[in-house]
Structure 1
Amino acid sequence: MTTTNNRISAFLMLWLIICASSSPFSGVVHTSSKVGLPAVLPCSVASHLESDHTPHIQWHTISYSVLERMGQDQFQGEAYRDRANVPEELLVRGNCSLFLQDVRFSDAGIYESYLVYGESNIKNRIFIQSVHLAVIDHKAIKSVETGADLILDLYTHQAEQVIFQNSTETNWTVLWEKDGIINNKDYLKKRDHKLILRRVTNSNSGTYKVLDLEGLALSTVKVKVTEPVLIKETEALEKQSALGQATMSMPPLSLITLFLTFNLMLQMN
């Protein structure tokens, strides 16, 4: 009975190893991009390329069709419209890499590429590559001088809101909203995917978060407001000058000693 169980266990282990090694996900290529930036998912069909045929490529996720291209004809999935591309000039040379623009958190996951071949009525697919895309947020630490401008990068059209937490408080304040009214127009400006806080003060020290429609942080920036270097140097020079003037206004030590000695002699007489 024990021998039989051992054989069954060995068979099951061998079966799992075979299944794992045959799975397309066992050779997954990993890549990453920061949210809002471009991403490239590698792919090559050079070994399958036929000189007299234009490569026909498909990219899919587990749930969605991403892109399909054959020559000049291209189809983009709804979630990837105007953001996904396999450049034709690269494809004809066997490079079937997928280019994504303005990457979103929802883009993260496994992508599979296929080479499609066969007659118009009968199509077959050859699996090429699995790519895992990780999408990460932006993090930064900034130091800005009092009276200068603080520039916060929104990175993408996905930015819906900017919130702020003062370094001495626990509550978050909505600083900016997409298509919303900016209350403090005298010091807050939006230009070229950037939010500009003009003439910052110590009260602007703290943490800034750029949020998307789902409330996820596209970026987190910790800001410290410092005194300008020139002001510090000026204060030091003023202190040195005041000390020098005080020293010059005091009589020399020898004169003080002579004066005290002369007074003592007069008192003795």
Structure 2
Amino acid sequence: MLKLLLLLCVFKYSESIPTHVMGKKGASIILPCEFEAREIFHIGLNRRSKNILVYQNEYCHKRVCKKGACDVFIKNLRLRDAGRYILNVYHFNATSVLEPQIRTYQLHIYDDIFVKIGERLKLHVLLPDAHHVMHQNKSSTEWKEVWKREHKKRVSVSHDRLSASDGALTIEAFTDDDAGTYRVLDFDGEIMITVTITDEKSSVDI
């Protein structure tokens, strides 16, 4: 019964306005539930309609921990952690489990990297719910689309030195023009990942 309730909540609340949470790759973040601890029976965390194991006591499973009444702590963030999460918090009353209280989150992961001119750059940013990737050159305020998912198995890229495969966006022979900021957005236009890339020459000149 509890699994059925969790599944129904995922579909019912997946369209709600999320709380935006930002964290740096390798660091930690908290998804705050902000509910009272009184009579909490169970918490469930979901992503892409799949349950993420969260111990009901303050213990960790892999990189996910419960903090306080129902906050969720995620450590050692990875780019693939980005995206939407749904937290279901179940309470007891005198006779039964009440309808859960819900929180949704949009987790935005960012990173800063340095690349040598001429090197091959591989960015593991093409998550299943990524819709398009935008690039802003370091000397421009304009955002240009460099990758777009047009269908489940069909994507488009903007130039010959760029390719997409196995969840990664690869730039062959990195140039000064490739430096700048790359943003990955989902199908709702929410930012999932931001990677700021500085080429070695630029980092020396600063």
The CA deviation string for residues 46-66 of structure 1, in whole angstroms up to 9 with x for no partner, is xxxxxxxxxx425758xx823
Give, in angstroms, the shift of residue 85 of structure 1.
Answer: 3.9
Q: Which amino acid in the other structure matches residue 157 of structure 2?
A: I
CA distance in 2, matches of 1:157, 1:200: 25
Matches within 5 A, 1:84-123: 84-85=50-51, 104-105=83-84, 107-108=85-86, 111-113=88-90
Determine whether 1:167 maps to 2:142. Answer: no
Contact 2:135 2:182 in 1 (8 A): yes
The CA deviation string for residues 149-183 of structure 1, in whole angstroms up to 9 with x for no partner, is 22222252111111111111111111111134324
Q: Secondary structure at the match of 1:65?
A: helix
Q: For residues 188 and 103 of structure 1, do their structure 2 counterparts lie closer, same or farther at Cα, with a shift above 3 Å needed?
A: closer
Give, in angstroms, the shift of residue 145 of structure 1.
Answer: 0.3
CA distance in 2, matches of 1:166, 1:155: 20
In the alignment, which residue of structure 1 is the partner of 2:171? 197
Contact 2:121 2:174 in 1 (8 A): yes
CA distance in 2, matches of 1:135, 1:78: 13
Aligned residues: 144
In the alignment, which residue of structure 2 is the partner of 1:57? 2
User: 1 or 2, which has the higher strand percentage?
Assistant: 2
Q: Secondary structure at the match of 1:126?
A: coil
In the alignment, which residue of structure 2 is the partner of 1:125? 96
Identity of aligned residues (%): 20
| Alignment TM-score, normalising by the size of structure 1 | 0.43
Determine whether 1:141 maps to 2:141. Answer: no
CA distance in 1, matches of 2:127, 2:181: 19
Matches within 5 A, 1:1-269: 56-57=1-2, 65-66=8-9, 83-85=49-51, 104-105=83-84, 107-108=85-86, 111-113=88-90, 125-127=96-98, 132=103, 134-154=105-125, 156-178=127-149, 179-184=154-159, 186-227=160-201
Q: Which amino acid in the other structure matches residue 188 of structure 1?
A: L
Quick one: higher RCO (CA 8 Å, sep 6+), 1 or 2?
A: 2
In the alignment, which residue of structure 2 is the partner of 1:37? none
Q: For residues 135 and 143 of structure 1, do their structure 2 counterparts lie closer, same or farther at Cα, with a shift above 3 Å needed?
A: same
User: 1 or 2, which has the higher helix percentage?
Assistant: 1
Q: For residues 192 and 78 of structure 1, do their structure 2 counterparts lie closer, same or farther at Cα, with a shift above 3 Å needed?
A: farther
CA distance in 1, matches of 2:186, 2:9: 22
| Alignment TM-score, normalising by the size of structure 2 | 0.54
Q: Which amino acid in the other structure matches residue 148 of structure 1?
A: E
Q: For residues 59 and 135 of structure 1, do their structure 2 counterparts lie closer, same or farther at Cα, with a shift above 3 Å needed?
A: farther
CA distance in 2, matches of 1:66, 1:140: 32
**Runs of at least 5 residues in structure 2 that lack an aligned partner in the other structure:** 15-45, 54-65, 67-79
In the alignment, which residue of structure 1 is the partner of 2:32? none
How big is the alpha-carbon RMSD for the aligned residues of Structure 1 and Structure 2? 4.2
Q: For residues 177 and 131 of structure 1, do their structure 2 counterparts lie closer, same or farther at Cα, with a shift above 3 Å needed?
A: closer
